[in-house]
Amino acid sequence: MFVDQAKIKIKAGDGGDGAVSFHREKYVAAGGPDGGDGGRGGDVVFQVDDNFSTLIDFRYKRKYVAERGENGAGRNMTGKSAPPLIVKVPRGTLVRDANTGRIMADMSSDEPKVLARGGQGGKGNVHFATSTRQIPRFAKPGYPGEAFEVTLELKLLADVGLVGYPNVGKSTLISVVSAAKPKIANYHFTTLTPVLGVVRVGEEKSFVMADIPGLIEGAGDGVGLGHEFLRHVERCRLIVHVVDVSGIEGRDPKEDFEVINRELAKFNEELADRPQIVAANKSDMATDEQVQEFRSYIEAKGIPFFCISAATTKGTAELMDKVSEVLDTLPPIKEYEAEPIPQEELDDMLGVGKKFDIRVEDGIYYVDAPWIQPIMRTVDPDDYSSLQYFQRVLINCGIISKLEEMGIQEGDTVDIDGFEFDFVN
């Protein structure tokens, strides 16, 4: 089953929490704080694997979560950082943010791409000791790892794309010029998936050709199978347009040529300007008048024209030589540039923006601030210095001033994620 689109969720590991610990050793009084830092969470890393040719695995597993970093420990011991989570994808996979459409990575090279970064570990209490606060009973929690919902879109990496109506001989052509073995039969839509073949034109020279199936009138709007596979033409440097010049199926080859080009342009305007070579196939079944009329029509447009018969291999070698010659003049296969995530979006995701919401119900002030929950894990309500630290967090992020602006009075109850306390001015 050929699957070239999928949607998954990826989540990098959260950082481990810093430790609250104090040095304990015989004959050493008041050893002081020695809580270590938390370890870093694991990254989510995408890696190309040429053993994969479709995205079908992502239909069955849709969530990929990296491990969390270990918490810090006493004796200034830093928690172990989590290993990266490797996600293997076929070459040519384009990764986009599902919410914004932003391109996150083009998996066309062997270079691994980090798409979600693990959170930093939190600081242990050893970092918060001062001359006036010698026994800090609090530490910082680990930072959350990045999380995204992403779409995966496979765009085959091929130098040449074979396009044309069904049953014009594209599969036969790729089978005789390469080692590809597509299904070949005398009916429409024989080929239901793109087929790749390596064409060799010399001892040390070759190129990759793709048979793109399912193009008919309306393909750019999703008619037939065209919309599913037109994306695979986008990377092709050169288009070989195969046309049935014999008209054996009652179609006009000139009209076929124009229809397919309109569908390519409708799907992506850049394809309208992509270099083309026209291969007039089934010439052994056509009259000289049919071939000459179509040749004049194509050459008048300045497009190279080759008369071939894929079934008998007539003219196919000359066509491949011309394809190789044109490819030498064209730029490399298109790669998409990754778009950096806006800092504001990243801050919101990681809670750096310190956004919060306050509502009043039955005289209680409820504070909704998801980013503050990890901090509260490290707060000891029975320790004065720990509460002082928590108070400074509330002041610095603007929660206290917002409560005062809403008219809170001393002694009123504040609820933050189930932790209730009386407001003290």
Average pLDDT per block of 10 residues along the chain, 425 residues long:
81 94 82 92 96 88 96 94 96 92 92 94 89 83 91 90 87 87 51 77 86 62 54 87 89 91 85 92 92 95 95 93 94 86 64 75 87 75 77 86 90 86 83
Q: What is the pLDDT of residue 369?
A: 82
Domain 160-327 has CATH 3.40.50.300: yes
Domain 351-422 has CATH 1.10.3720.10: no
Predicted TM-score (pTM) above 0.85 = no
Q: 């004049």: which residue's tokens?
A: 296
CA atoms within 13 A on the CB side of 220: 15
Q: What is the pLDDT of residue 189?
A: 45
Token pair recorded at residue 89: 């994808």
Cα 390–chain centre separation = 38
Q: What is the pLDDT of residue 220?
A: 43
Class level of CATH domain 1-156: mainly beta
What are the DSSP calls for 11-79, one per residue? EPPPPPPPP--B--BTTB-S--B-PPPPPPPPPEEEEE-TT--SSTHHHH--EEEPPPPPPPBTTTBPP
What are the DSSP calls for 295-310, one per residue? HHHHHTTT--EEE-BT
Q: Which residues of 338-368 are buried (b: 16+ CB within 10 A; e: fewer)?
A: eeeeeeeeeeebbbeeeebebeeeeeebbbe
Tell me the sheet residues that pair with 116: 44
Strand order in the sheet with 44-48: 85-89, 44-48, 113-116
Among 59, 37, 38, 46, which Cα is nearest to 12's?
46
Neighbours of 151 (CB within 10 A): 16
Amino acid at 227: H
Backbone phi, psi, residue 281, to 5°: -90, 170
* Spans of all domains in the chain: 1-156, 160-327, 351-422
Amino acid at 329: T
- Maximum distance among all alpha carbons in the chain? 108
Give 127's DSSP letter: G
Strand order in the sheet with 63-65: 63-65, 5-11, 147-154, 93-97, 103-107
Using an 8 Å Cβ cutoff, are 264 and 233 in contact?
A: yes
| ∠ CA 167-262-185, rounded to 5° | 5
Q: What is the pLDDT of residue 132?
A: 77
Q: How far apart are the first and last CA of the chain?
A: 66
User: Using CA atoms, how far apart are residues 228 and 195, in angstroms rounded to an integer?
Assistant: 14
